[in-house]
Amino acid sequence: METMLPETLRPKQSDSKKEKLTSAEQGKLWVTYVGNTMSICVLSYMLNHVEDAEIKAVLEDAISLSKQFVQTIKDIFVQDNFPVPKGFTAQDVNVNAPRLFEDDFYLQYLKYVGKAGISLYSIAIPLVSRPDVRSFFTQLIDLTVKFLNQVNQLLEKKGLITKPPYIPYPTKVDTITKHSYLNGFFGPVRPLQALEITHLHDNLENNATSRAVLIAFSQVAQSAQAKAYFRRGIELASKHYDAFREIMQTEGLTSPPIFDSLVTTSTTAPFSDRLMLFHKLDMYAVRIRAYGNAMSMSPRHDVAEKYARFIVEVGNYVEDGANILIQHGWMEQPPQAVDRNELTANNKPNNQ
């Protein structure tokens, strides 16, 4: 069943005339628009191959939401005389390309991108002030949370969900009295605490899903440059997955499985190299935020150090991918501040 945005979210001309869009509103609307045009392409392809009726219904809800998000943002931009981004179009997807993923992977993928969406939309709330934009992002969070719950319920129903490990309940309320609580490299090292386990599990799950997407993209990429970039991404995701799993195994804790077997052997590209490169840049940019958040919740030095090091590795990978997009003229420019130096340089003095 189609999930409709409330009519109150539809921007009105009178509202948009009252206030201009701030830099935060421009930036968040812009990236949400471009990201959801990409999602529409990916989901359209998945819908053309899905066989499981329940998974198909979830995919239909997902694409319905993305289309409504895109249309609402387009309405805001048009009313504000703001250039509507190109984003991604039917030229970036071949829905008739052979199946690249098994049905079960679609649910893992939807959870993966849904978490990224919540991360983006939740940060927007305290930064945007215009009533229509604030209301829009508030509703985006609500709808995305409801959608993720729907995905998780189906994952659990099909026996595909990977829950974080169980740990014993504390026997009493206690306080930390020793500085060794922070140890990770030297001296006594305490067991992982609940929040450290939570974020290790989350990042294991993200890297397992990302690895499968990268394997698929490396099989179908059309240029040698893109193939090499995706293969490097596989190595990066595998390295991070193995490092987090080792920490968990040392504590006798379980880890989410990898999903490589849910990628088919197809070598026919359903997506343009531009879309696939942007997809991984977008998701790895969110990974930096996830690692930073995890590091802030991990007082054990060895765990925090891994996140700090991995943030640098992911940042370098994202930068190299951005350079490929720029090299081919594939990177659309987000809204930016005025370049005063350029204005001065272009304003030639009148010598008369």
- DSSP codes, 75-117: HHHHHTTPPPP----GGGB-TTSPP-B-HHHHHHHHHHHHHHH
pLDDT score at 346 = 76
Q: What is the pLDDT of residues 139-149, one digit of tens each?
A: 999 999 999 99
- 58: part of which helix (H) or strand (E)? helix 53-79
Q: What is the pLDDT of residues 206-251, one digit of tens each?
A: 999 999 999 999 999 999 999 999 999 999 999 999 999 999 999 9
pLDDT score at 187 = 83
Residue 78 tokens, joined: 């048009």
The closest alpha carbon to 140, from 125, 154, 151, 128, belongs to 125
Residues 6+ apart with CB under 8 A from 89: 37, 41
Under the banding of pLDDT at 50, 70 and 90, the label for residue 333 is very high
pLDDT score at 46 = 98
pLDDT score at 17 = 55
Domains and CATH numbers, the chain: 9-157 (1.20.1260.10), 190-327 (1.20.1260.10)
Q: What is the pLDDT of residues 12-54, one digit of tens each?
A: 544 445 789 999 999 999 999 999 999 999 999 999 999 999 9
Average pLDDT, the chain: 93
pLDDT at residue 196 greater than cutoff 80 = yes
pLDDT score at 9 = 53
pLDDT at residue 56 greater than cutoff 70 = yes
pLDDT score at 351 = 60
Residue 316 tokens, joined: 């370098």
pLDDT score at 10 = 56
What does the angle CA 113 – CA 192 – CA 208 come to, to the nearest 5 degrees? 30
Percent of the chain with pLDDT over 70: 93
The closest alpha carbon to 199, from 295, 309, 310, 308, belongs to 295
pLDDT at residue 344 greater than cutoff 90 = no
pTM above 0.85, yes or no: yes
Under the banding of pLDDT at 50, 70 and 90, the label for residue 185 is confident
Under the banding of pLDDT at 50, 70 and 90, the label for residue 338 is confident
The count of other CB atoms within 10 Å of the CB of residue 227 is 16
The closest alpha carbon to 45, from 97, 99, 96, 95, belongs to 95
Q: What is the pLDDT of residues 242-264, one digit of tens each?
A: 999 999 999 999 999 999 999 99
Q: What is the pLDDT of residues 72-126, one digit of tens each?
A: 999 999 999 999 999 999 999 999 999 999 999 999 999 999 999 999 999 999 9
pLDDT at residue 319 greater than cutoff 80 = yes
Residues 6+ apart with CB under 8 A from 38: 87, 88, 92, 275, 278, 279, 282
For residue 168, which phi and psi values (nearest 5 degrees)? Answer: -65, 150
**Which CA distances in Å does 121 have to 40, 46, 53, 314?**
18, 24, 29, 22
Percent of the chain with pLDDT over 90: 85
The count of other CB atoms within 10 Å of the CB of residue 144 is 22
Cα 226 from chain centroid (whole Å): 20
pLDDT score at 2 = 44
Residue 126 tokens, joined: 């305290």
DSSP 179: G
CA–CA separation, 130 and 83 (whole Å): 19
pLDDT at residue 8 greater than cutoff 80 = no
pLDDT score at 340 = 76
